[in-house]
Amino acid sequence: MPEYVVRPVGRVESPLTDLAAAPKQSDEGAPPARIVFEPEYREAAADLRPGAEVLVLTWLHAGDRDVLSVHPRGDLGRAREGVFSTRSPDRPNPIGLHAVTVVEVAGDSITVDGLEAIDGTPVVDVKPVLGGLHER
């Protein structure tokens, strides 16, 4: 099958710099973080507003793409599972998915309430959380 090129649209600015110490999910004590958009993609982000619930997609560049199964959450007491049944950052395409709320908007960036990705992580997409059919 053909391959495709992912072009980062921005990057994470976060106090988290140590991968080993980072929380595993947004709701496990992750600190607020900024997403700084590249100038050429600001138009795409122009309608994000404080209070918006969004899904941030990142490229977990430290992930090991050759890993196909893991002990969930690194717990050796748990049986290995195929990575498509886990949220392991080690997976064939290490796309991170983060459900967050926008808390502040500036010219070239947004601040979100909690993000477990470390400083410098590339951001590849932002999508709204879908409401009910009548809100679309």
Helix (H, G, I), strand (E, B) or coil at 29: coil
For the chain, give the number of residues. 136
- Candidates 4-12, 14-22, 111-119; binding stretch for its own copies (CB under 8 A): 4-12
| Pair 52, 102: CB distance under 8 Å | yes
Is residue 18 part of the contact set for its own copies (CB under 8 A)? no
Q: Which pair of tokens denotes residue 110?
A: 């947004």
User: Rule CB under 8 A: is residue 78 a binding residue for its own copies?
Assistant: no
Contacts of 66 (CB under 8 A, 6+ apart): none
Q: Pick one of 31, 73, 74, 104: the residue that binds its own copies (CB under 8 A).
A: 73
Pair 100, 112: CB distance under 8 Å = yes
Q: Residues in the site for its own copies, rule: CB under 8 A?
A: 1-9, 11, 24-25, 27-28, 38, 41, 43-48, 52, 54-55, 57, 59, 61, 65, 68-69, 72-73, 81-87, 91-93, 95, 97, 122, 124-128, 130, 133, 136
